[in-house]
Structure 1
């Protein structure tokens, strides 16, 4: 029963992720005249990059248009929701994005407590094998591959949680974009009280107690 519940919740999160991505593709565009240098940019607030249909032009400073700094120029990756919230919290624009030390960030991730769990992952075994004998001219590209595996929305079975400063399992943990925190798979966001709740009851226990209190009066 628990396994079935786990599977259903995992599939629901994947469906929601795909649905949210499709919605973002269809949303309106920004019409910034300041090159999206301010956080009022509609696309920036939607956690996505601007495109040719926007009014900002070639001087666009929307940081989400410059994620190739982490993922590589040929990559079509989008940032994992946890990485998105970390960027929004710490970076103002594209110039600020490029001040982030990629090697330092990589070392921070590799030194986290659960990083050793990746030793059984075939993709990371290949990555580590090459990393141990990497040539200087290949180093940046390999670091960007590392970021694609752990910081993108196309992450492997694990992603790096900036909330917990540690690795998280994609099927056991998720990042709530409303509460802006990583959560256990058994938690979900209740629209009634606008907070994450634990368990499977609908409405959540918090809302249920509130409803009972009002019905009593």
Structure 2
């Protein structure tokens, strides 16, 4: 990874203008710089979205719950960490961790985990695994299809295939196809779009993200400030409250 300073570019460009008064040379230098900057920005944006999550998940995997009350409360370490329990936990067959039963949405053969926005919505609306049954999957599916930006999916190749089958679906295939729809928009392996319960609308994965600390969807230009523990606007600007800068963009 490399970072080119404005001073270096400025000096190089001015030197080029003085030595070679050709516009094409100057243009080429700036074009190279913009390409480098764009790659740097893309890498840092992706890192900003995933670094906190990967560090968090790595830490969570080292600790297991030992519940005796069925993991039905947020006091359960695994439940609180927004993940399911496994055989290494001490809860046993009485486990009611709702994150162990996401096959209700994603299908029995799926290994999907829920998108962070979907996770927070589930935690807010469901207390136990049994509570998942109270969510009407067809109504949820219809709600997503009726959202304002749903037409944006018309250019998505995966959705085109899904929609083509949906238009001629047999009754006995309907549920499994709805679950595929949920895997596309509600799972952590979502396509270029995901459904934002915060905004009741579609969101673009490259332009929006869900802050798991503030528990709300944010614009890509926002970042979570560890100084004041709130999201701040402007990835290249210091936090408006505590003036701390996003470390991912500290090269500006």
Mapped contact 1:30–1:42 kept (Cα < 8 A) = yes
Q: Which runs of 5 or more structure 1 residues have no equivalent in the other structure? A: none
Match of 1:105 among 140, 143, 147: 140
**Cα offsets for 1:3-26 (capped at 9, x unmatched):** 456513432135426624641562
Q: Do structure 1's residue 51 and structure 2's residue 89 form an aligned pair?
A: no
Q: Which runs of 5 or more structure 2 residues have no equivalent in the other structure? A: 1-35
Q: Distance in 1 between matches of 2:250 and 2:208?
A: 35
Provide TM-score, normalisation by structure 1. Answer: 0.90
Q: Distance in 1 between matches of 2:196 and 2:248?
A: 38
Query: For structure 1, which segment, 138-147 or 2-11, has the greater mean C-alpha deviation from structure 2 after superposition?
Result: 2-11
Report how far residue 99 of structure 1 moved. 1.2
Query: For structure 1, which segment, 170-179 or 25-34, has the greater mean C-alpha deviation from structure 2 after superposition?
Result: 25-34
**Higher alpha-carbon Rg:** 2
Structure 1 stretches of 4+ moved >6 Å: 209-217
Paired residues in the alignment total: 217
CA-based RMSD of the aligned residues comes to: 4.5
**3-state secondary structure, aligned to 1:205:** coil
Report how far residue 49 of structure 1 moved. 0.3
**Cα offsets for 1:129-159 (capped at 9, x unmatched):** 1001101111111000000000000000000
Query: For structure 1, which segment, 198-207 or 162-171, has the greater mean C-alpha deviation from structure 2 after superposition?
Result: 198-207
Shift in alpha-carbon separation, 1:135–1:40, aligned structure 2, 3 A: same
Show the counterpart of 2:51: 16
**3-state secondary structure, aligned to 2:223:** strand
Q: Distance in 2 between matches of 1:159 and 1:214?
A: 25
Shift in alpha-carbon separation, 1:216–1:146, aligned structure 2, 3 A: closer
**Cα offsets for 1:64-100 (capped at 9, x unmatched):** 0000000011111000000000000000010001210
Provide TM-score, normalisation by structure 2. Answer: 0.78
Mapped contact 1:44–1:62 kept (Cα < 8 A) = yes
Query: For structure 1, which segment, 79-88 or 37-46, has the greater mean C-alpha deviation from structure 2 after superposition?
Result: 37-46
Mapped contact 1:70–1:102 kept (Cα < 8 A) = yes
Mapped contact 1:30–1:56 kept (Cα < 8 A) = yes
Report how far residue 55 of structure 1 moved. 1.0
Between 1 and 2, higher relative CO (CA 8 Å, sep ≥ 6) is seen in: 1
Q: Distance in 2 between matches of 1:2 and 1:174?
A: 22
Shift in alpha-carbon separation, 1:197–1:173, aligned structure 2, 3 A: same
Query: For structure 1, which segment, 21-30 or 177-186, has the greater mean C-alpha deviation from structure 2 after superposition?
Result: 21-30
Shift in alpha-carbon separation, 1:108–1:201, aligned structure 2, 3 A: same
